[in-house]
Structure 1
Amino acid sequence: MTYDPVSANPLHGNPLKTRADVEKGLRDLFTPLLPYFSEGGARVRLDGAAAHFDRAAADLEGFARPLWGLTPLAAGGGAFDHWELYRRGLANGTDPDHPEYWGQVNGIDQRQVELAAIGFTMKMLPHLVWDPLPQRAKDNLAAYLKHARQFDYADNNWKFFRILVDLGLEQCGVDFDRSYTDKFLAELEGFYLGDGWYRDGNVRRIDHYIPFAMHFYGLIYSKLARGDAARAAEYQERARLFAQDIQHWFDEDGGTLAFGRSLTYRFACGGFWGALAFADVEALPWGVIKGHFLRHLRWWSKRPIANRDGVLSIGYGYPNLFMSESYNSAGSPYWALKAFLPLALPEDHPFWAAEEVAADFGSRPVPLRHPGMVMQHSPGNVVALSSGQQNWEMRAGAEKYAKLVYSSRYAFSVEVAERAYHLGAFDGVLAFSDDGRHYRMRETNEAARIAENCLYAHWKPWSDVDVETWLVPANHWHIRVHRIRTPRPLHATEGGFAIARADLNADTYIDEPGRAVARSATDISAILDLGGTRAGRAFRALPNTNLIAAKTIVPQLRGDIAAGETLLMTAAMALPAGNEAEAALQHPPHAPDLAALEALFAREGVDVSAILVPERF
């Protein structure tokens, strides 16, 4: 017998159908951390990899993030045997004279992020983490939090962190300057777009930080804050609106759209459903909310997301540093425990008492103006056609935000060899090269618009090359139309969806002019040239590029682009193997009428909200 990496996942084998199952899942996720607590309890160090912040802050991250799950557990009456360890850690981590001191905050600092969990715990469980402390430890903890909160926080969801700290200080009777709280609450309003959608700061991106940060913290505030009933009601009403849309970022099996940054937080993406329950907001029928929540946890229980000792890895569907951000330390993945917020609720709460309801999304495309997406549901998958988002400031930002299409089942790939054009995965991407070695893909947008179920973007891979792209849903397929204007010849590669590659090269595939098809035991992926004869290639991508499957095969179309104007028309699809996939493969869509598309956008096109912020350089 060989080692099965899925078996190390602490959720593996848990049916995750009841409150008791979820409680067991949380305990099983926490237990592997115990050997890594420092003697003084203040630090948790899980491996030797670094983040951009200092080691003390990373150790605090390992200490604090489990509290997002442990605090609701105890608040809901669940037993936890290690509160003394946490009290010791709080005392020592905030004691400047102790060797495990977390270090002083002197500006925007990762510590401000992690202190939010401590503020939340002080608010929910003062009898466990505050009242038993000796007075000196109380004074140190209060002083540490008050010092940290006086500095600016990053101009995004971080502003909620001061607010959560303030909830804890208020609960424990500590005096503080309330004007800081009011200032950040007011500034957060500047990120609200309407229809329940925020942006995560004044940036051209709208990602999972909206459900698992902006709404998550807002719903906690709406439940726990005192004397702010109007704002609490507003946060809850926005969450009701948002639920109608964000449910379409989930598929029928519980997978969520793999898109944007911080995906190593994994089932934090399900935290929004738990936060609705925590705040008693029945945005959808309770059985529907519960279904989204539990299916999401079950989806993750089937992935090899932990190291051999059961500690969650940096990565997404498996351990993978290629997809990580510079702010990911080994403790970062434990923001996933935000999903366990509904453990604060009793067994008879309507959320837990409801019968789980299966997903019923239908097959009609769902346009979402604010993130600039058109959602397409299919068996075990949701696909997002995407235009208007960008993030060039971080590693793999183009892959995380600016691809043409994203998926829950097939995720996306990050490139690992920027000087090896012919080895690029390029799934969901139109990539160009002018020298056969380097490449450019969409990174930023000059314009992005949505009309009915179609998207348009104008982008420039180089300053002298213009590309206009239209994206059109077509049942299980989608169509991409690209109008390229270039003063010099280029080479282009356009990719479909990456699917898991079989061992021993057992996949079957088709490489021929105008078409590439990849078949595995579980999936079929295809890309077609609707208006020409670009060369088809079912490409075996470099390992560990895709976020879900460590080895993939990607259908691609490749060809020369002459100087002047070129029009490309492409159809792509991927489905689980079976009759439905075979039928779709036999009935591809026809090339659309470009003049009709242009007329549609002239008549009904509106700007995608995500792009309505000046680009920052």
Structure 2
Amino acid sequence: MIYMIRKLQLPVLLLLLLWGPVNGQAGRGQKGTPVPTVVTTGAKDRAQWVKALYKIAWPVVHNLAAGTLKKNLPLEQGPDYNLVVKDVTYLEAVGRTVAGIAPWLELPDDATEEGALRAKMRRELLQGLRNAVDPENPDCLNFKKQNQPIVDAAYLSHAFLRAPKALWEPLDSLTKRRYIDAFKSLRNRSGAYNNWLVFAALIEGFLRYIGEDYDPVRVDYALNKMKDWYTGDSWYKDGDLFSMDYYNSYVIHPMLTDLIRTLLEKRPGKVHVTTRDYETALSRMVRHAEFLERIIGPDGTYPAFGRSVTYRTAAFQALGQVALMEKLPEHIQPAQVRCALTKVITNMFDGNQNFDANGWLVLGFNGHQPMMADVYTSTGSLYMATLGFLPLGLPADNKFWTDPPADWTSKRAWSGQPVKKDYKVEY
């Protein structure tokens, strides 16, 4: 169905609020009666998620393990691309992919078909992680040139924090040392005055987690600036000015919350954080997850606004992380999040519109749309999409997967069902 949308002269925030009315008709019959929900099960939904995540991640993981990532990864770039693509795109692909698949790989082995895929992915990734810092390997990644590696070393650090038993502890001592040295080498550079502060801080937080010397100044500075940049009702500014985009979910909430949790676990330290700091960060992320659940339309679409929309399902990282932590608000059932995200994932990845002939992601939002890419976007950048799959870290017998299907908020609202009124929350 094609919808005709009139151009509105309204602030972009209002676009977010109006998304339901524009897309909501998919959830209504001719007389406003509910359209029957397609019969499905949590097991079928999970299989759909695994299929999509494997389809996205396997080319990166397998080629890195084989030492052929630099040979085979396309170098497609956005208009007016302003980085040195060969210096940054490979680490982008690896760091972002691993951060998204880490919770899934942390699950124990089992005898299921999914378990076999997971074990295969983990085995190849561990080999790839060794190759990535082996100076004799053709896929040895760059950490020493350009500023961009600060970003993707942070995603690697996040992966190690999310799956220490699966991804960090099995590495040999030489490989671990090489990662530690690579992360510390980033201290001679600084990035942008925005969410990049959190990247630098998380790397140092990981070093603190494994008992290495870390830079408390980078951590303390990021924590203090994020306090300054909090605007209310779960939204942080991304620097001195507010940006209406998905960076609160791409970066800020998940990394900030995990950074504070990591520092708390390793007290005492040179950076002073409290349980209250963590509870505040977590409460804000939970509130932000409410927004993300509400913007998923009845048909499983969501608005393509702001920077970096080519990161696709990464827009729902904060929602997925809250679900993974089993911290969803009481009025949001795990099954409604599962069903909403399943519809998004199916829309995005069930077809081949977002992949080239060799299975690599293409520049765009839902299809090959290179005009939507930013000046820093290349093929490797796109693998942020895996961050939308964090709930796969919940075992298959968790209620997220076993509860019967449930309509999500916009689908209920547009079919006349009861919906909790939304109102600002102050933390």
Q: Structure 1 length normalisation: TM-score? A: 0.52
Cα 1:104–1:223 shift into 2, 3 Å = closer
For residues 395 and 65 of structure 2, the distance between their equivalents in structure 1, rounded to whole angstroms, comes to: 33
For residues 322 and 70 of structure 1, the distance between their equivalents in structure 2, rounded to whole angstroms, comes to: 28
1:348-367 aligned at under 5 Å gives the runs 348-361=397-410
For residues 119 and 31 of structure 1, the distance between their equivalents in structure 2, rounded to whole angstroms, comes to: 20
How many residues end up aligned between the 2 structures?
A: 353
Matched with 1:502 is none
For residues 143 and 383 of structure 2, the distance between their equivalents in structure 1, rounded to whole angstroms, comes to: 23
For residues 35 and 220 of structure 1, the distance between their equivalents in structure 2, rounded to whole angstroms, comes to: 28
For residues 403 and 121 of structure 2, the distance between their equivalents in structure 1, rounded to whole angstroms, comes to: 32
Partner SS state of residue 193, structure 1: strand
Task: Tell me which of 328, 336, 345 is aligned to 1:297.
Answer: 345
Matched with 1:146 is 184
Task: Tell me which of 80, 83, 89 is aligned to 2:119.
Answer: 80
Which residues of structure 1 form unaligned runs of 5+?
1-13, 365-376, 380-617
Which residues of structure 2 form unaligned runs of 5+?
1-39, 109-114, 266-273, 417-427
Matched with 1:62 is 93
Does 1:18 find its partner at 2:82?
no
Give the helix-richer structure, 1 or 2: 2
The answer (yes or no) to whether the contact 1:273–1:293 under 8 Å persists in 2 is: no
Does 1:335 find its partner at 2:381?
no
Task: Tell me which of 52, 74, 80 is aligned to 2:82.
Answer: 52
Alignment-mate amino acid for residue 330 of structure 1: T
Does 1:269 find its partner at 2:309?
no
For residues 363 and 75 of structure 1, the distance between their equivalents in structure 2, rounded to whole angstroms, comes to: 34
Partner SS state of residue 359, structure 2: coil
For residues 398 and 187 of structure 2, the distance between their equivalents in structure 1, rounded to whole angstroms, comes to: 35
For residues 322 and 378 of structure 1, the distance between their equivalents in structure 2, rounded to whole angstroms, comes to: 35
For residues 280 and 314 of structure 2, the distance between their equivalents in structure 1, rounded to whole angstroms, comes to: 23
For residues 397 and 137 of structure 2, the distance between their equivalents in structure 1, rounded to whole angstroms, comes to: 44
The answer (yes or no) to whether the contact 2:293–2:409 under 8 Å persists in 1 is: no
Alignment-mate amino acid for residue 261 of structure 1: R
For residues 15 and 184 of structure 1, the distance between their equivalents in structure 2, rounded to whole angstroms, comes to: 42
Point out 4+ residue stretches in structure 1 off by more than 6 angstroms: none
Partner SS state of residue 252, structure 2: helix
Does 1:190 find its partner at 2:238?
no
Task: State the identity %.
Answer: 25
How far apart are 1:187 and its partner, in Å?
A: 1.3
How far apart are 1:266 and its partner, in Å?
A: 0.9
1:140-179 aligned at under 5 Å gives the runs 140-149=178-187, 151-179=189-217
The answer (yes or no) to whether the contact 1:41–1:92 under 8 Å persists in 2 is: no
For residues 302 and 165 of structure 2, the distance between their equivalents in structure 1, rounded to whole angstroms, comes to: 37
Task: Tell me which of 250, 254, 270 is aligned to 2:296.
Answer: 250
How far apart are 1:320 and its partner, in Å?
A: 1.9
The answer (yes or no) to whether the contact 2:48–2:346 under 8 Å persists in 1 is: no
Partner SS state of residue 372, structure 2: coil
Does 1:103 find its partner at 2:150?
no
Per-residue CA shift, 1:523-571, capped at 9, x if unaligned? xxxxxxxxxxxxxxxxxxxxxxxxxxxxxxxxxxxxxxxxxxxxxxxxx
Cα 1:32–1:94 shift into 2, 3 Å = closer
Does 1:285 find its partner at 2:332?
yes
Partner SS state of residue 331, structure 1: helix
Per-residue CA shift, 1:198-233, capped at 9, x if unaligned? 222223422111233222323444665534422221
Does 1:240 find its partner at 2:286?
yes
Per-residue CA shift, 1:336-390, capped at 9, x if unaligned? 00011112222343433433321343899xxxxxxxxxxxx799xxxxxxxxxxx
Cα 1:223–1:289 shift into 2, 3 Å = farther
For residues 34 and 102 of structure 1, the distance between their equivalents in structure 2, rounded to whole angstroms, comes to: 14
Partner SS state of residue 338, structure 1: helix
Give the strand-richer structure, 1 or 2: 1
Bigger radius of gyration, 1 or 2? 1
